[in-house]
Amino acid sequence: MNDEDLGTYQPLTYFQMMEVSLRELLVEKGVITEAEVEQAMGEIRARSPERGAKMVARAWLDPAYKARMLADGSKAAEELGFEVPGLRLIVVENTPETHNVIVCTLCSCYPRMLLGLPPDWYKSRNYRSRVVREPRAVLEEFGTKIPDGVAIRVHDSTADMRYLVLPMRPAGTESLTEDQLAALVTRDSLIGVSLPNRHR
């Protein structure tokens, strides 16, 4: 190791050490294989907010799909090939009267199968404790100003349901294709802390 390498060397953290130790022990004892771990990691990395965005774009274009999505979010996800094993997905719709935002105050429940790994702020004590009691102030910190005439509905994901926000379709997007619409749907707009990007 030369001096340059030493400059970037980081010792393993406590939890990294625990993970490596447990994984190596499980492999050594033949409970799992390295290949299975690699495969599982690959599947976790493959999940991204693009899945949720695709569902939203489809709902914007197809009223029948939107109706099915609001009736049973899990089935609507599976219809597009996204498995939602063991958990029930509830899709909550933003309207001119209501804005929805998702949190898990107890831990960090998150629709990982449709949005991938949660952002760090979603798991932070700051977000979890404040968005339930001052959602308007928290949304403003994300640059999202919700007028007082629009009711804010906070969803605390405390048990077996998972939530996805169906944002309102931005104005001026009538001519866009499904893929172009999906590109406007950000991860944060699916959690409800922001709105979809505007079409330029």
Closest listed residue to residue 196, CA positions, set 53, 48, 47: 53
- Is 108 designated active site? yes
Stretch that binds other proteins, among 1-9, 35-43, 50-58, 152-160 (CB under 8 A): 152-160
Q: Is 102:121 a contact under the CB 8 Å cutoff?
A: no
- Is 107 designated active site? yes
Interface with other proteins includes 132 (CB under 8 A)?
yes
Residues paired with 98 in a beta bridge = 151
Stretch that binds other proteins, among 14-22, 29-37, 132-140, 169-177 (CB under 8 A): 132-140
Closest listed residue to residue 60, CA positions, set 197, 174, 186, 198: 174
Interface with other proteins includes 153 (CB under 8 A)?
yes
Active-site residue identified among 21, 48, 107, 124? 107
Active-site residue identified among 74, 104, 157, 189? 104
Whether the CA torsion 129, 131, 137, 140 is positive or negative: it is: positive
Q: Which of 105, 108, 144, 186 binds other proteins (CB under 8 A)?
A: 105
Interface with other proteins includes 68 (CB under 8 A)?
no
- Is 194 designated active site? no
- Is 109 designated active site? yes
Stretch that binds other proteins, among 39-47, 76-84, 143-151, 178-186 (CB under 8 A): 143-151
Closest listed residue to residue 58, CA positions, set 66, 67, 48, 50: 66
The torsion angle over the Cα atoms of residues 147, 128, 92 and 78, rounded to 10 degrees, is: 150
